[in-house]
Every structure is written in structure tokens, then in C-alpha cells.
Amino acid sequence: MVTRNDYRQELFNGDVGIVVQDSTSNGLAVLFEEPAAEGGCRLVPAALVPEMKTCFALTIHKCQGSEYHRVMVVLPDRNSPILTRELLYTAVTRVSDEIDPETGNRHSGTLYLSATEMVVRQTIERQIRRTSGLRDAIEALNEIRILAHIDEGTRQLREGNFVEFDQDGLRNFFDEIQASGRRRYEECQKRS
């Protein structure tokens, strides 16, 4: 499996080939599928193939972005928190149609799924759930900033303070609002 793009050779990360003996040079070469080439394959001298690794099977994550005519997805016998609808979708969408190099006819790709019905159902029902808390913290901080701005503006209006700010005054005003928001954010963090 190619692990680094090589635009000159038109080989890309995730491309999979088979190492064979090149009958014309008696050296090693890698046979890659190429529907447009004669016989549907092209031979690249092994010395010209960029970084590569031996592989017998690929993880769903590793094959993301690649397509294959035949895909076998093997799921564990038991439910697992990493089995999600998105992961299964990524696996299923790796299947692509196959074009017969001799006739040009298109044939549907094939997906083989090895799993229990229960595991497939649970996988489809589970969506990725981000648990870092970063999104909630950012939303809370933004909400606090807005509330602080509104609170400060309302206080200024109630007190009849219609002051024209120069640039430094305006900067100080917003710094005060941010400091107020930061204090509220820290209070929220202590409560949660």
C-alpha cells in the first residue's frame, strides 16, 4: 500500500498494488489497477513506487478516501463504543463500480459484511458523540460574552451614560466587558 503521494507516478496514499516479478526487466514491479490501461492494470517498477507498507487488510480509517470494487467489512462479535453509524457509512462508501477493461461495461461493486445483526443494528443506531466538552465551553464563553455586553450596555443606558468613546476608551470598555464575561465563565466552570 502506497503511504505517500507521488504525482509523477500518479500514485497516491492508500493505493494498493501487488508486487510481482517483471518479466521484461527480471526485477520487481508493482501491479496497480488502472481501468484506462490495457488489461485494466499498469506495472510500475518497484524502485519508482514511493513509500509503501505491506498490507493484507486495511482499517476503515486507513482506506478513507480510497475506493475498491470489492470491500469486506468485518465487525466484532460484540458491541463496541467505536462502532458508529459514521464508521459504517465510511466503509460502505468505499465500494465503487468496476469497469470491464475489455468491454467497457460497468459492473456494480460488491460489499461483504461479516457481522451479527445485533451488532449492525447497534452500530447504525450509534452516532459519533464528541466528549471533549470543547464545543460546550466555547458556546458558554460566547454566550457569556454576549450577555456581558448586553448587561453592560443596558446598565450604561439606564444610567443615562451616552458617552462618546475615543479609541482607548472604547478598547477599555470592551476589555471590561470581556473581563466580566471571563468572571462569569469561571463561575459557571466552578458550578459544573
170-188, pLDDT tens digit by residue?
A: 556 556 656 666 676 677 6
Q: Which of 103, 106, 36, 117 has the alpha carbon at shortest distance from 69?
A: 106
pLDDT of residue 147: 56
Q: What is the mean predicted confidence (pLDDT) over 104-116?
A: 87
pLDDT: which is higher, 90 or 187: 90
Q: Does the pTM exceed 0.85?
A: no
Distances (CA, A) of 105 to 95, 96, 101, 110, 111: 17, 14, 8, 16, 19
pLDDT digits 0-9 by tens, 138-159:
666 666 655 555 555 555 555 6
Q: What's the grid cell of residue 53?
A: 507498507
CA pair distance 41, 10, nearest whole angstrom? 13
Categorize the per-residue pLDDT at 115 as very low, low, confident or very high, splitting at 50, 70 and 90.
confident
Q: Which of 110, 6, 19, 13 has the alpha carbon at shortest distance from 66?
A: 13
pLDDT of residue 31: 92
Q: Which of 29, 10, 32, 9 has the alpha carbon at shortest distance from 19?
A: 29
13 exposed, middle or buried (CB, 10 Å; 0-12, 13-18, 19+)? middle
Q: What's the grid cell of residue 155?
A: 446598565
pLDDT of residue 28: 93
Spatial contact of 107 and 98, defined as CB atoms under 8 Å apart: yes
pLDDT of residue 29: 92
pLDDT of residue 37: 80
pLDDT: which is higher, 147 or 22: 22
Residue 163, pLDDT above cutoff 50? no
